[in-house]
Amino acid sequence: AAGKVAARGAFVLFEGADRCGKSTQAMRLVHTLEARGVEAELWRYPDRATAMGKMIDQYLRSKSEMEDGAIHLLFAANRWEKKALMERKLASGVTLVCDRYSYSGCAFTAAKGVDGLDLEWCRAPEVGLPRPDALMYLELSLEDAAKRGGFGEERYETTEMQRAVKASFEAMREDWWDVIDANREPDVIQDEVLRIALSAVEKCRAGRELKRLWQ
Ligand code: NYM
Ligand code: MG
């Protein structure tokens, strides 16, 4: 109706190391939500479609080299360039299901072990971005991840790096995260994921405010 303010959508995030099943779960969740009449969109970071995203894509595919600090800031800038759109979508009632975000940004850079680029440094450029209403961290052991077949061809897709990435995620973990055992059938995981997402959607409809990282 005219003048009616739409209830805001929820910002639902999936995080985890590579091959944990995030993308599959995120995609399925969008379809399930839509089927239930919850307007939802799939987002992912990096967004390789923007000018900055293209530079990130080149770096990940080892077509270019960049200083570790510079690429970290570029990943963060790739979120800042989409911040206004993200906020507009949420405010208009769209639920955003996101595949990776600032937590991946910090986990991967900190995992490099570069002097000076510790978690605190990594978080700084992310402060002030929208904070997810739900964060599902898909947890899978390195052994179980290996059983899913080899890693891809991109930078960071090595067992050593993934071990360090998992350690950074552990170090960042906060009480409000939902830790999901990713070593189960996709359907079973989706049931749990859907419950968590619907609860976030409900809270946002009821007026839950959008918070900011890391405040
Ligand atoms: N990655 C992703 C980062 O290093 N920093 C970030 O801020 C984000 C969002 O990019 N190995 C890394 C994690 C992944 C890689 O992501 C590409 P995907 O989801 O595999 O396309
Ligand atoms: Mg990948």
Q: How far is the CA of 44 from the centre of ligand 1 (A)?
A: 9
Find where tokens 């987002």 sit: 43
Residue owning the nearest CA to atom 16 of ligand 1: 46
- Which residues, given as ranges, of the chain have pLDDT below 50? none
Q: How far is the CA of 105 from the centre of ligand 1 (A)?
A: 7
C-beta of 18 in contact with ligand 1 (< 6 A): yes
What is the per-residue pLDDT for 39? 98
What is the per-residue pLDDT for 2? 57
| Ligand 1 mutation target, pool 60, 81, 157, most atoms within 8 A of CB | 60
Q: Which secondary-structure segment (H or E) carries 195?
A: helix 186-205
| Ligand 1 mutation target, pool 104, 106, 129, most atoms within 8 A of CB | 104
C-beta of 168 in contact with ligand 1 (< 6 A): no
What is the per-residue pLDDT for 3? 60
Q: How far is the CA of 18 from the centre of ligand 2 (A)?
A: 5
C-beta of 45 in contact with ligand 1 (< 6 A): yes
What is the per-residue pLDDT for 4? 65
Find where tokens 């970290």 sit: 72
DSSP calls for 35-100: HTT--EEEEESS-TTSHHHHHHHHHHTTSS---HHHHHHHHHHHHHTTHHHHHHHHHTT-EEEEE-
What is the per-residue pLDDT for 153? 85
Residue 208 DSSP code? P
What is the per-residue pLDDT for 10? 98
What is the per-residue pLDDT for 42? 98
Q: How far is the CA of 152 from the centre of ligand 2 (A)?
A: 7
Q: What are phi and psi of 13, to 5 degrees?
A: -115, 140
Nearest ligand 1 atom to alpha carbon 44: 19
Ligand nearest 60 Cα, by number?
1
Q: How far is the CA of 207 from the centre of ligand 1 (A)?
A: 32
